[in-house]
Amino acid sequence: MAGNPRKDEISGVDTTGHEWDGIEELNNPLPRWWLWVLYASVIWSIGYWIAMPAWPGISDYTRGMLGYSQRQTVMDELAEVKAGRADIEAKIVASSLEDIAKNPNLNQYALAAGQAAFGDNCAACHGSGAQGAKGYPNLNDDHWLWGGSLEDIHYTINYGIRSTHDETRFNDMTAFLADEILEKQEISDVAEYVLSLSGTSSDSEAAQRGLPLFEDNCVACHETGGVGNREMGAPNLSDKLWLFGGDKKTVVQSISYGRKGVMPTWEARLDPVTIKALSIYVHSLGGGE
């Protein structure tokens, strides 16, 4: 490749002696502005090594005279953001949920903070759009096991359901088959009756047979007509929404073995501002009462 430099007749410029398939390289000088930029960059970089963190060592690195640290900058910025929020967060702590919801500023802040916190903490079970899944309630609809007011939602988030907290919401759906209270046939009849409450039963005779059984065993919690009782977290069985599913097989399964879904307590894991913000956010999704 490398040959002897020679003078190119056409341009009058020396070649570098490099040649590829007959194409030779002219040894034109670099543009002067380009050289200036190069020299300036070299000088700049020396200053930069002295002023800024630059060279890695074995256990440390050169810190630079200006003491700049990207990590420290981020920490400072975060602290600054936190300090900037202190004011509004103090107001949120001091205000009742009702007042927060009515105050445009606090409400806007709570909605934004709640949405972010929901994505981080709640979406794993309830879905990113709070649409829920089988066994995990949809928080957009108007069906609430324990109540959909701001206070109710706040309590649920704070203490959880069947959680480890002493104040937790708790109930215990009887496992009618496992505990040998009802026979299989009886459970099937009760299931037909339960389905008939929302008009989805296909066997009215069985439903008739199930009625007395329902009244004996279920109304204590689910009330007459299966309208449910929020005090006890007993779901309304007469509406069109099912947490675990509204087909016969699933209902039989629910009666036979009970349902014991768990929602953790967030009191120790989230700060009071975040829990309030989450309450406001969940309440705003469309089902809030």
How near is the Cβ of 149 to other proteins at its closest, in Å? 16
Task: Indicate the residue among 264 and 288 with the shorter CB distance to other proteins.
Answer: 288
Burial 196-215 (b: 16+ CB within 10 A, else e): bbbeebebeebbebbeebbe
CA 175 – CA 254 distance, rounded (Å): 8
Span near other proteins by CB under 8 A; candidates 23-31, 152-160, 214-222, 269-277 = 23-31
Contact call for residue 104 and other proteins (CB under 8 A)? yes
- With CA atoms as reference, report the closest residue to 278 among 142, 59, 118: 118
How near is the Cβ of 286 to other proteins at its closest, in Å? 6
CA 193 – CA 112 distance, rounded (Å): 44
C-alpha separations of 92 from 87, 230, 255 in Å:
9, 28, 43
Contact call for residue 239 and other proteins (CB under 8 A)? yes
Contact call for residue 101 and other proteins (CB under 8 A)? yes
Q: How crowded is residue 111: how many other Cβ atoms within 10 Å of its Cβ?
A: 17
The amino acid at residue 276 is K
Q: Contacting other proteins (CB under 8 A), which of 130, 153, 187, 218?
A: 130
Sequence-distant contacts of 222-230: CB under 8 A, at least 24 apart? 225/197, 226/194, 226/197, 230/144, 230/145, 230/146, 230/147, 230/152
Contact call for residue 7 and other proteins (CB under 8 A)? no
* DSSP state string for 248-270: HHHHHHHHHH-----B---TTTS
Contact call for residue 286 and other proteins (CB under 8 A)? yes
Contact call for residue 24 and other proteins (CB under 8 A)? no
- Terminal C-alpha separation, the chain: 83
221 labelled as ligand-binding? Answer: yes
Task: Indicate the residue among 24 and 141 with the shorter CB distance to other proteins.
Answer: 141
173 labelled as ligand-binding? Answer: yes
Q: Contacting other proteins (CB under 8 A), which of 223, 241, 257, 258?
A: 241
126 labelled as ligand-binding? Answer: yes
Q: How crowded is residue 166: how many other Cβ atoms within 10 Å of its Cβ?
A: 7
Contact call for residue 141 and other proteins (CB under 8 A)? yes
Span near other proteins by CB under 8 A; candidates 62-70, 78-86, 140-148, 150-158 = 140-148
Q: Contacting other proteins (CB under 8 A), which of 15, 69, 107, 253?
A: 107
Burial class of residue 244, CB neighbours in 10 A (0-12, 13-18, 19+) = middle
Span near other proteins by CB under 8 A; candidates 44-52, 81-89, 90-98, 100-108 = 100-108
CA 118 – CA 274 distance, rounded (Å): 9
Task: Indicate the residue among 34 and 44 with the shorter CB distance to other proteins.
Answer: 34
125 labelled as ligand-binding? Answer: yes
Number of residues that bind other proteins (CB under 8 A): 23
Contact call for residue 240 and other proteins (CB under 8 A)? yes
**Contacting positions for other proteins (CB under 8 A):** 28-29, 31, 101-102, 104, 107, 127-131, 138, 140-143, 236, 239-241, 284, 286
Q: Binding site membership for heme c: which residues?
A: 122, 125-126, 173, 218, 221-222, 263
